[in-house]
Amino acid sequence: MDLINLAIILVQAGILVNLMLMAAAYMVLAERKISAYIQLRLGPNRVGPWGLFQSFADVFKLYLKEDIVPAAADYKFHALAPVIAIGVAVTVYAVIPFSGPLVTIGGKSYGLAMAPNMNVALLVILAMTSVGVYGVALAGWSSNSKYSLMGGLRSSAQMISYELSMGLAVVGVVLIGGSLNLIELIQYQTAHGWNIFYQPLGFLIFLITALAETNRAPFDLPEAEPELVGGYHTEYSGMKFGLLYLAEYANILASSAIMATLFLGGWDIIPFVDEAALLGLDPTGLPMVLAGHVAFLSKAFVLVFVFIWIRWSLPRFRYDQLMNLGWKVLLPLSLANIAVTGIVMLLLN
């Protein structure tokens, strides 16, 4: 039985990693197409029909590029930083419940979640996002470049500052749902309505901090081209640069999936409606599970579109504005949200 479980875990890991890589590749293409539409351009349209194979051409180009390492750089950490960045991004996917149980093997149900019943899944996600700062910081420090170092320091300060508000933003969800288990939080929302209706401020704070955590505009100070050439990845080329670039998009999709789980009901299709009873279907049957999986991915990709939309709509903050927003606005608001939620839950109980 242990071998069967190991084989299932390997299959799940293979599916999730490949789906993540494909999704990240096409998120790059989607960003280029959406930005072109916003700027009244065509975007990529040469490689494949409508430019659909452009992402594969980009990966092939990066793979063929020479791996250049500065002579004074610390080679071991220079090579390790992209691995940490992409490793942390991939690890988060292991605890995100992308679907309900799809198959039953040996009396046990399995879906697109490697650790579906982890009671501290939310803490694991917050912990892994905290570890992600090491990849960016090491990339900046190990390059032995003042531009890279400044980008790494900016990113470290930014991610540490906004992680605090991000963690506090989900406390309201935990108070309402009464669990750190993501599946239990989805089940609570299925029965009582999505958390975005009860925690709109928490959702807004999480969205803003997710933008900062993924170094997306208007929070892309670690990569500020006019000041830092390219920031922490200035001295990277080839697939090492590709891994850092891929990690950013993997983190965007992970953040969107987490928001869909915590605030938008996960695989629940319509809030306050029992779709299975309405359609006369088994809520644990394959048709409902697949419909829920499509609903989950749809919510996640709508949020990915919001990430892209914001990037091409808002100008970059000054660094003092960025830090003021994190410490003087978002942190007090997140604490106030916890206090109000706690009082309301106490009165309701």
pLDDT of residue 9: 79
Q: Where are the alpha helices (DSSP H) in the chain?
A: 2-38, 54-64, 75-92, 121-142, 146-169, 171-177, 182-192, 200-213, 225-228, 238-262, 275-279, 286-311, 319-324, 331-348
CA angle 317, 319, 320 (to 5 degrees): 105
pLDDT tens, residue by residue, 5-56: 788 778 888 888 888 888 888 899 999 999 999 999 988 998 989 888 998 8
Task: Give the C-alpha separation, 154 to 160, whole Å.
Answer: 10
- Which one is predicted more confidently, 302 or 137? 302
Measured CA to CA, the distance from residue 43 to residue 31 in angstroms comes to 10
Are 166 and 209 spatial neighbours (Cβ–Cβ below 8 Å)?
yes
3-state secondary structure of 75: helix
Look up residue 273 and give its amino acid: V
**According to the model, what pLDDT value does residue 1 have?**
52
pLDDT at 330 over 60: yes
Say how far apart CA 218 and CA 311 lie, in whole Å. 6
pLDDT class for 116, splitting at 50, 70, 90?
low
Distance CA 255, CA 262 (A): 10
